Structure 1
Amino acid sequence: MKNFINLIGIESPGLTAAQPIAKRVVEIINKKERLNSNPKFNPFRKGILRFEEQDEETKKILIKQDSDYGEIVCRCEKVTKKEILEAINNPLGARSLISIKYRTRAMMGRCQGGYCQTRIMEILRESFKLGPQEITLKGNDSYLLTGYRSNKENELCQNKKLLSLEEELPV
């Protein structure tokens, strides 16, 4: 395929080879098309502020600025709703439970998500306007919930059960 560079399957050297491989790819691309540096590019990303690591005065200020800092979602790792929302809304937005876990440490504590997983699912649901059955553990088809029915479907099922019972009863 023309103008395609395949870099998959690099497992053993992994991170140690990543930078030399990237430099080589840049050389290959630069031969075909002139690449220019972006003077505004900042290679350092501001991470998510860890509320738990702040002093008490800073915590009070943060909560005053944004009440989501005052809502602890993960008790074990003391992760706030604001930290979860920042993971969701950053440029590489977290869209699965594992991506939130890696960015915030939520679900890494003693309970392994037993307390906070449903709370994080609710934040994901609200942020992306998803149904509960659409939330994934790792993306793709790693759905957590199956057999989910909407309220309307539940009503229809209840009505059908009532009708079938009435049909079976002698009049």
Structure 2
Amino acid sequence: MTEIRTPRLLLRRWYDDDLAPMAEINADPPVMRWVDDGAVLGLDDTAEAIERWEDEWDEEGFGLFAVELLASGELVGFAGLSVPEFLPEVASDVAISWRLGTPFWGQGYASEAAHATLEFALQDRNLDRVISINRVGNEASENVVRKLGMKLEREAVHPEYDFPLSVHSIDLTEFQA
């Protein structure tokens, strides 16, 4: 089983017990504001999402990690890698993403988990490059992207929801692990 420990976090595969806390995160309007059309997700949608994330692990050898606090075992959200099939111009790339519950915002957890994910991409999966796709205006995610050393590569438009996106990238040979 793939696990990554950071000073404060454990990044791991998904457990059945993760469904309820992840559904709670997905049901929070401030969390979902920047995701797709901004609609919250219920328990069934979250279960389907976790199943898709686990399938991607099996198919690609990477995926979205469940992220928990080492100190308490509490699920804070996810961080990891995925293939951004929704955006045709970068669908052959691997994207890093994260989503944390609001009680965990502003504490550096997203940056810590994302940094560990980039190390995983470089050292364990031997990827040459990783992208990040963010909705324009999401300053919190843009801050994480900057901390990772990613550079703006292109602007795009979400093909389904028609809002502007920024695509950042990093050449992992230059990433400071």
* Higher Rg of the two aligned structures: 1
Query: Larger relative contact order (C-alpha < 8 A, sep ≥ 6)?
Result: 2
- Asked if TM exceeds 0.5, the reply is no
Structure with greater helix percent: 1
Higher share in strand: 2
> Normalization by structure 2: what TM-score?
0.31
TM-score normalised by structure 1 residue count: 0.32
